[in-house]
């Protein structure tokens, strides 16, 4: 939990609320007498040195009255909030205790009441109870209750569905104990947070009621009542309304800002310290001649985030037309960021630098903006992991496809539509014309992934980047998508960069495999050598730890002790010698591994970064 007062808004809110509380405590004893002192010589005055905010119809000092009224305003608001929160929490918890039908009735009532504005409910209660503070407090309490009830309900329902509650039930933990140990602690925090905001809301609502003359009645007075008195005089002496208005506004702002800050602090994960750090352009000498026929040529690609976190470190990669390269690694190895960097999609504040970044023979960083957009928009196709999330739910399938052709290739709508249907047929979608008219949610997961691939084919793709395209799919559908990728690569002569955590899938589809660990390439090898010819101990362990249909069931699986260091941990280690990142988990590690091994040739089309290989 990030400290709520670290933000200036949170701090301002806390200070304002603290001031209000102090005022409520010290106000009446200090200024109480002044506030009640009637002075017939000073009736209805404007601002003066003696009375900075003027006087009322009995000559009482308005500033003193504002300072004294804080206590009543705050107390009534607190009372209304407690009534509302108490009633609401009970109402929200009832459905889980009551018989089903009765519970549904309560839920329905709450849902209906939530829609009614608080002021309306308060006015209703005010009619019934008559004018006065009691009616206003009850009314505003009644207005707060439905919101709290609904919050309690949704929170309790979501916690009750959690796996840890299921686990507790299976362990025969008594119902009451599940309630007190699991459900209450996990819903209490958001409920308490909501109290702060509800308190601010109650204060404003009470002020509103009193301002309308429906709340606190003389001789009592709160800020709303003072505003009511002052309002009739603002044409002559605007200053008399200033005091109570400012007090109400400050109180409202204070509670709201504090509530916001508390809620943010509770929900947000800690953000790493941000230190902007500009990276010098890498040395471009000694990169050798560009490979003219390569679709993609990357030299020394680095992705860095502020604070020295560098998830991708000096990666080099060349892909020829018609080739499928598999980029494999565990989560946190930097493989997906590599894909983003090549596609120019690294999110702020990440910084990409590279000695060379050539797509279709042109360095994308040197192209003018318009040409770069066109090149990347038509020659590069991307496929992401979750086909459910890769298509815009609001737009029809056909329109999303046709867009590329109209935007980048100047096609007319009819041409673009024709091409879209053609491409849908290309990826084996039956009845393309009907599918094109549908929204993505009407298609199955495998079908959607086909649509995404078809979208990439709308231009004239030279490079397809597929980032875990089958991870969210069933194995039988995965098979079909893998075949489709191979087919498309063969037909179009495009190159494919296939990113996966699953070395078996990579082994099945790809021609060449690039293994990443902790941001660096540790091995690059032809797929035929993956099963038995891998040289890096990490690659070998990955292959061995993965059970396949031939694994010996009588022997334990290989596993790698420890875990991959995160980019943040690596950043800390950067200050020190910076040896092989895998050494800590490697059984072959020697003293030499304190030096980082370079990626060197290891036989034909095979490179490895290991001293012991």
Partner 1 sequence: MIIKNLTVRFGAFTAVDDVTLEIPSGAIVGLVGESGSGKSTLARAVAGLVPYTGAVEGCDQRRVQMVFQDPQASLDPRMTVGASVAEGLRLPRAARQAEVERLLSLVSLPAALAGRYPRELSGGQRQRVAIARALCARPEVLVADEITSALDVSVQGAVLNLVRSLREELGFSMLFISHNLAVVRYVSDVVAVMHRGRLVEMGPTEDVVGTPKDGYTRSLIDAVPRLGRS
Partner 2 sequence: MAEPTRPPAAGPRRALAGRVRGGLVLRRVVRFAISLAVLLVASFGMIHLIPGDPVRASLGPAAPVELVEARREALGLDQPILSQLVSYVRHVLGGDFGTSFLSGEPVGDIIAARLPNTVALALSATVVALLAAVPLGMWAAIRTENGRNRGTEVTFTSATGAAVAVPEFLYSIALVTVFAIGLGWLPPAGKAGPESYLLPIAALAIAPMAMIARISRVETLRELGTDYIRLARAKRLPTARLYLRHVLPNTLTATLTVGGLLLTGLIAGSVLVEYVFAWPGLGLRVVESITQKDYPVAQGVILVYGAIVLVVNLLVDLLLGLLDPTSALKET
Provide the binding-site residues for partner 1, judged by CB under 8 A: 162-164, 166-173, 181-182, 185-186, 330-331, 474-476, 478-479, 482, 486, 501-505, 507-509, 527-528, 530-531, 541-543, 545-549, 551, 553, 556-561, 563-564
Q: Is 453 in the site for partner 2 (CB under 8 A)?
A: no
Strand partners, 513: 326, 525
- State in angstroms the smallest separation of the CB of 564 from partner 1: 8
Q: Binding partner of residue 138 among partner 1, partner 2, none, CB under 5 to 8 Å per kind?
A: none
Q: What is the separation, in whole angstroms, between the first and last Cα of the chain?
A: 45
Residue with tokens 């606190």: 216
Q: Which of 42, 66, 72, 207 binds partner 2 (CB under 8 A)?
A: 207
Instruction: Identify the CA nearest to 14 among candidates 244, 262, 312.
Output: 262
Site string for partner 2, 225-244 (x = CB under 8 A): --x---x--xx--x--x---
- State in angstroms the smallest separation of the CB of 507 from partner 1: 4
Contact in structure between 392 and 384 (CB atoms under 8 Å): no
Site for partner 2 in 52-91 (CB under 8 A): none
- State in angstroms the smallest separation of the CB of 458 from partner 2: 9
Distance between CA atoms of residues 133 and 217, nearest Å: 7
Site for partner 2 in 271-290 (CB under 8 A): 271, 274
Q: Binding partner of residue 245 among partner 2, partner 1, none, CB under 5 to 8 Å per kind?
A: partner 2
Distance between CA atoms of residues 375 and 360, nearest Å: 9
Distance between CA atoms of residues 431 and 448, nearest Å: 14
Q: Binding partner of residue 181 among partner 1, partner 2, none, CB under 5 to 8 Å per kind?
A: partner 1
Distance between CA atoms of residues 268 and 120, nearest Å: 35
- State in angstroms the smallest separation of the CB of 389 from partner 1: 16
Q: Binding partner of residue 604 among partner 1, partner 2, none, CB under 5 to 8 Å per kind?
A: none
How is residue 555 written in tokens? 């022997």
Q: Which of 253, 320, 558, 599 binds partner 2 (CB under 8 A)?
A: 253
Q: Is 291 in the site for partner 2 (CB under 8 A)?
A: no
Q: Binding partner of residue 558 among partner 2, partner 1, none, CB under 5 to 8 Å per kind?
A: partner 1
Q: Binding partner of residue 439 among partner 2, partner 1, none, CB under 5 to 8 Å per kind?
A: partner 2
Site string for partner 2, 89-108 (x = CB under 8 A): --------------------
Q: For partner 2, which stretch binds (CB under 8 A), given 54-62, 125-133, 171-179, 576-584? A: 125-133
Q: Is 214 in the site for partner 2 (CB under 8 A)?
A: yes
Q: Which of 4, 200, 398, 461 binds partner 2 (CB under 8 A)?
A: 200
Q: Which of 169, 233, 277, 428 binds partner 2 (CB under 8 A)?
A: 428
Helices assigned H by DSSP within 37-117: 62-97, 100-114
What are the backbone dihedrals phi and psi of residue 422, each rounded to the nearest 5 degrees, phi first?
-60, -45
- State in angstroms the smallest separation of the CB of 172 from partner 1: 6
67-99: b (≥16 Cβ within 10 Å) or e = bbbbbbbbebbbbbbbbbbebbbebbbbbeeee
Distance between CA atoms of residues 124 and 141, nearest Å: 12
Distance between CA atoms of residues 338 and 361, nearest Å: 19
- State in angstroms the smallest separation of the CB of 581 from partner 1: 14
Site for partner 2 in 467-496 (CB under 8 A): 477, 480
Q: Which of 29, 117, 493, 578 binds partner 2 (CB under 8 A)?
A: 117
Q: Is 384 in the site for partner 2 (CB under 8 A)?
A: yes
Contact in structure between 378 and 463 (CB atoms under 8 Å): no
Order of strands, sheet of 324-328, starting from the edge strand that comes earlier in the sequence = 380-383, 463-467, 495-500, 324-328, 512-517, 520-526, 607-608, 600-601
Distance between CA atoms of residues 381 and 286, nearest Å: 31
Nearest CB to partner 1, comparing residues 90 and 159: 159
Q: Is 374 in the site for partner 2 (CB under 8 A)?
A: yes
- State in angstroms the smallest separation of the CB of 9 from partner 2: 4
Q: Which of 49, 348, 475, 575 binds partner 2 (CB under 8 A)?
A: 348
Other Cβ atoms closer than 10 A to 612: 16
Nearest CB to partner 1, comparing residues 18 and 531: 531
- State in angstroms the smallest separation of the CB of 188 from partner 1: 10
Give residues with Cβ within 8 angstroms of 384, minimum separation 6.
Answer: 390, 452, 467, 468, 469
Site for partner 2 in 127-186 (CB under 8 A): 127-131
Q: Is 425 in the site for partner 2 (CB under 8 A)?
A: no
Nearest CB to partner 1, comparing residues 121 and 168: 168
- State in angstroms the smallest separation of the CB of 383 from partner 1: 17
The strand pair at 520-526 and 512-517 is best described as antiparallel
- State in angstroms the smallest separation of the CB of 39 from partner 2: 26
Other Cβ atoms closer than 10 A to 27: 21
Instruction: Identify the CA nearest to 524 among candidates 581, 447, 608, 462.
Output: 608
From the CA atom positions of the chain, what is the Rg in Å? 34
């Amino acid at each position: 939990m990030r400290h709520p007062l670290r933000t200036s808004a949170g701090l301002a809110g806390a200070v304002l609320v603290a001031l209000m509380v102090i005022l409520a405590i010290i106000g009446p004893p200090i200024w109480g007498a002044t506030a009640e002192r009637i002075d017939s010589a000073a009736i209805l005055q404007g601002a003066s040195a003696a009375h900075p905010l003027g006087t009322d119809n009995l000559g009482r000092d308005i500033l003193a009255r504002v300072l004294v009224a804080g206590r009543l305003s705050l107390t009534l608001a607190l009372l209304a909030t407690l009534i509302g929160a108490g009633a609401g929490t009970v109402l929200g918890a009832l459905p889980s205790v009551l018989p089903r039908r009765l519970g549904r009735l309560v839920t329905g009532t709450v849902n209906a009441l939530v829609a009614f504005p608080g002021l309306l409910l308060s006015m209703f209660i005010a009619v019934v109870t008559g004018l006065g503070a009691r009616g206003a407090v009850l009314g505003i309490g009644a207005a707060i209750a439905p919101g709290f009830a609904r919050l309690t309900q949704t929170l309790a329902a979501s916690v009750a569905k959690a796996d840890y509650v299921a686990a507790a039930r299976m362990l025969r933990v008594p119902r009451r104990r599940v309630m007190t140990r699991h459900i209450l602690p996990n819903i209490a925090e958001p409920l308490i947070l909501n109290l702060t905001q509800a308190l601010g809301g109650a204060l404003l609502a009470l002020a509103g009621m009193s301002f309308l003359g429906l709340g606190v009645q003389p001789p009592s007075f709160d800020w709303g009542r003072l505003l009511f008195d002052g309002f009739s005089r603002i044409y002559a002496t605007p200053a008399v309304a200033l005091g109570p208005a400012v007090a109400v506004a400050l109180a409202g702002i204070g509670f709201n800002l504090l509530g916001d800050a508390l809620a943010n602090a509770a929900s947000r994960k800690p953000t790493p310290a941000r230190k902007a750090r500009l990276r010098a352009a890498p040395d471009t000498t000694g990169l050798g001649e560009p490979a003219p026929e390569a679709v993609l040529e990357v030299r020394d690609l680095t992705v860095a985030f502020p604070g020295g976190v560098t998830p991708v470190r000096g990666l080099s990669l060349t892909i020829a037309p018609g080739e499928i390269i598999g980029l494999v690694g565990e989560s946190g190895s930097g493989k997906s960021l590599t894909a983003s960097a090549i596609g120019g999609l690294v999110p702020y504040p990440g910084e990409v630098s590279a000695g060379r970044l050539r797509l279709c023979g042109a360095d994308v960083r040197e192209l003018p903006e318009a040409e770069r957009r066109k090149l990347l928009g038509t020659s590069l196709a991307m496929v992401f992991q979750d086909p459910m999330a890769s298509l815009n739910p609001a737009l029809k399938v056909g329109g999303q496809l046709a867009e590329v052709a109209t935007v980048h290739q100047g096609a007319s709508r009819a041409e673009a539509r024709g091409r879209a249907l053609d491409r849908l047929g290309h990826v084996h979608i039956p009845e393309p014309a009907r599918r094109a008219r549908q929204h993505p949610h009407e298609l199955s997961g495998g079908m959607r992934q086909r649509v995404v691939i078809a979208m990439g084919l709308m231009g004239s793709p030279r490079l397809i980047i597929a980032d875990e395209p089958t991870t969210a799919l069933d194995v039988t559908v995965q098979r079909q998508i893998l075949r489709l990728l191979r087919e498309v690569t063969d037909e179009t002569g495009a190159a494919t960069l296939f990113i996966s955590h699953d070395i078996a899938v990579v082994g099945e589809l790809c021609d060449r495999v690039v293994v990443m660990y902790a941001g660096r390439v540790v091995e690059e090898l032809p797929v035929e050598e993956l099963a038995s010819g891998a040289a890096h101990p990490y690659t070998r362990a990955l292959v061995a730890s993965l059970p396949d249909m031939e694994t010996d069931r009588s022997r334990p699986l290989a596993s790698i002790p420890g875990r991959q260091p995160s980019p943040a941990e690596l950043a800390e280690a950067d200050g020190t010698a910076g040896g092989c990142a895998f050494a800590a988990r490697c059984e072959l590690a020697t003293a030499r591994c304190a030096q980082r091994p370079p990626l060197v040739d290891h036989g034909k089309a095979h490179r490895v970064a290991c001293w012991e290989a």
